[in-house]
Amino acid sequence: MSRWRFVLSARWARYLVLVLLFAAGCAGLASWQVARRDAKVAEITRIEQNYDAAPIPLEEALPEPGSFTADREWQRVELTGEYRTEDQLVVRNRPRGGTPGFEVLVPFETDSGRVFLVDRGWVPISDGGAPASIPDAPEGPVTVIARLKPGEGTVAGATTTSSGVLASIHLPEVERVLGTPVEQSAYGLLAGEDPAPAERPAPAARPEIDEGPHLSYAVQWVVFALLGFGGLVFAGRQEYRYRNADDPEEQRRAADRAAKRAVRRTDADEEDALLDSVR
């Protein structure tokens, strides 16, 4: 054991501290990836439970203004009332399939007087930079089926244009622009209208069910941490051999290792010679 006393030196203590710090960093990154996977799995669960579920009245899903909760995301809700077509808005910088475009937002006033924002879909950008032709929302009484989504945040440095083009679906900003109270905790992605118009903006695509590579990344960070400790052990072994090169026992072990390497090389040479003879 005295031959390993060098590992108790200050130098090796610093090596150990560095490896421990590296392992702690890897563990933190692995934990972060696991948390991201858990969040993705929770999102997938909500999609599977809510996306194709039977629609429920808006008043049941959101009994009070601001009562939206994450477990209601993608839930289909039913609204009856009329679109406020004169208050139609668009949101810029919404590419789809590599084509830039806009989301079309129309406030919907329910029979109870509640105003709920509906995203009717996507339209491409025109040559002049404005939205292309936007199909009109149905006039008069209509029943709408929409999927609940939480409002978006603001975009740093981006503002609403003088013509009312929004940078994001930030519901407080929508309320400010419209000058009328709007449901603040959620809006709806249009799923259907009755009566249905002849045409409408392109509907939102079904969300993908994909956990992503987070679990494999977490495993990789754990492997990196283990490699750090493995590297420390390897370095210790190499220094041990260097310090004890004159020891007869260590010399015998070195000779055994050299002999094994020679045998492996000899076997490989024989295989190569056999292959050459076949050619």
Q: Quick one: pLDDT band at residue 268, thresholds 50, 70, 90? A: low
pLDDT of residue 239: 83
What pLDDT is attached to residue 160? Answer: 84
Q: Parse the chain into domains and list their residue ranges.
A: 2-35+212-278, 55-194
pLDDT at 247: 65
Say whether pLDDT at 270 is over 90.
Answer: no
Higher-confidence position of 22 and 263: 22
Q: What is the pLDDT of residues 93-109, one digit of tens each?
A: 999 988 999 999 999 99
The answer, yes or no, to whether residue 249 has pLDDT greater than 80, is: no
Report the pLDDT value the prediction gives residue 278, as an integer from 0 to 100. 54
Give the Cα separation of 255 and 32 in Å (integer): 47
Percent of the chain with pLDDT over 70: 86
Rounded mean pLDDT of 150-175?
89
pLDDT the model gives residue 186: 95
Whole-number percent of the chain with pLDDT over 90:
63
Name the pLDDT band for 26 (thresholds 50, 70, 90).
Answer: very high
Position 34: which residue type?
V
- For residue 128, the model assigns a pLDDT of 77
Q: Tell me what the mean pLDDT of segment 128-149 comes to.
A: 91
Task: Report, as an integer, the average pLDDT of 229-237.
Answer: 90
Confidence of residue 162 (pLDDT cuts 50, 70, 90): confident
Phi and psi at 82, nearest 5°, equal: -140, 145
pLDDT score recorded for residue 261: 65
**Three-state SS letters, the chain:** CHHHHHHHCHHHHHHHHHHHHHHHHHHHHHHHHHHHHHHHHHHHHHHHHHCCCCCEEHHHHCCCCCCCCHHHCCCEEEEEEEECHHHCEEECCCCECCECEEEEEEEEEECCCCEEEEEEEEEEECCCCCECCCCCCCCCCEEEEEEEEECCCCCCCCCCCCCCEECCCCHHHHHHHHCCCCCCCEEEEEEEEECCCCCCCECCCCCCCCCCCHHHHHHHHHHHHHHHHHHHHHHHHHHHHHHCCCCHHHHHHHHHHHHHHHHHHHHHHHHHHHHHHHC
Segment 73-85, tens digit of pLDDT = 999 999 999 999 9
Question: Given a cut of 60, is residue 23 above it in pLDDT?
Answer: yes
Question: Mean pLDDT in the chain?
Answer: 87
**Comparison of pLDDT for 247 and 6, the residue scoring more:** 6
